[in-house]
A and B are shown apart, each in its own frame.
Chain A
Amino acid sequence: GENVEQHPSTLSVQEGDSAVIKCTYSDSASNYFPWYKQELGKRPQLIIDIRSNVGEKKDQRIAVTLNKTAKHFSLHITETQPEDSAVYFCAARAGGTSYGKLTFGQGTILTVHP
Chain B
Amino acid sequence: DGGITQSPKYLFRKEGQNVTLSCEQNLNHDAMYWYRQDPGQGLRLIYYSQIVNDFQKGDIAEGYSVSREKKESFPLTVTSAQKNPTAFYLCASSQDLREKLFFGSGTQLSVL
Q: Whole-angstrom distance between the alpha carbons of A9 and B41 in the complex?
A: 10
* A45–B103 CB distance below 8 A: yes
Q: List B contacts of A89 (CB < 8 A).
A: 42-43
Which of B42, B104, B105 gathers most chain A CB within 10 Å?
Answer: B42
Q: Contact: B59 with A103, CB < 8 Å?
A: yes
CB-defined contacts of B43 to chain A, threshold 8 Å: 44, 89, 91, 104
- A36 vs B50: C-alpha distance in the bound complex, in angstroms? 21
What's the dominant secondary structure at chain A's contact region? Answer: strand
B40 CB within 8 Å of chain A: yes
B19 at the A interface (CB under 8 A):
no
Residue of A1, A49, A100, A103 with most chain B CB atoms under a 10 A cut-off: A100
How many A residues touch B, CB cutoff 8 Å? 24
Q: B25-63 vs A: 1/0 string, CB under 8 Å?
A: 000000101010000111111001010000010110000
**B-side interface residues toward A, CB under 8 Å?**
1, 31, 33, 35, 40-45, 48, 50, 56, 58-59, 90, 97-98, 100-106
